[in-house]
Amino acid sequence: EELQDQIRPLVKRAIEVYEKNLSLSARIGETPENNQWVAQTSRSLDRMKEFLNNPAAREQARKLVRRGKDFRSLWTPYEEARNYVDEALQSALKKSEDGESDDESAPET
């Protein structure tokens, strides 16, 4: 949490820089459709905003980093799906090692 408090102003500043770059690019006629650098900058801006404004995204990024994975995969659909599957498998393995089963936690119908 302390590190996050220290990083927050840096993320905000990075967002400002990305927005200025995109604004300048728009003024000179460059768009994500005709310029790969502008497209990449736009994606990076979206990721920074998501990271700043979405607590769930921050938590998921923390989990990825703790497991030694690249947190940028959070914004790649295929990689994100793999991360969720890996997380579910780890949870199932832990339950299996602890002797728990899904049937025990499921409500009776």
Give per-residue pLDDT as tens, 15-26.
999 999 999 999
How far, in whole angstroms, is CA 98 from its chain's centroid?
Answer: 30
pLDDT at 73: 64
pLDDT at 79: 67
**Which of 63, 37, 59 lies closest to 50, judged by CA?**
59
pLDDT at 77: 60
pLDDT at 13: 92
15: which 2 tokens?
A: 């967002």
* For residue 96, pLDDT beyond 50: yes
pLDDT at 109: 45
* For residue 108, pLDDT beyond 60: no
26-77 pLDDT tens trace: 999 988 888 899 998 998 898 889 888 888 877 877 777 777 777 666 656 6
Question: Which ranges constitute the DSSP H helices of 1-109?
Answer: 2-27, 36-53, 55-66, 77-97, 102-105
What is d(CA 18, CA 31) in angstroms, rounded to the nearest whole number? Answer: 14
* Choice between 17 and 80, residue whose per-residue pLDDT is larger: 17
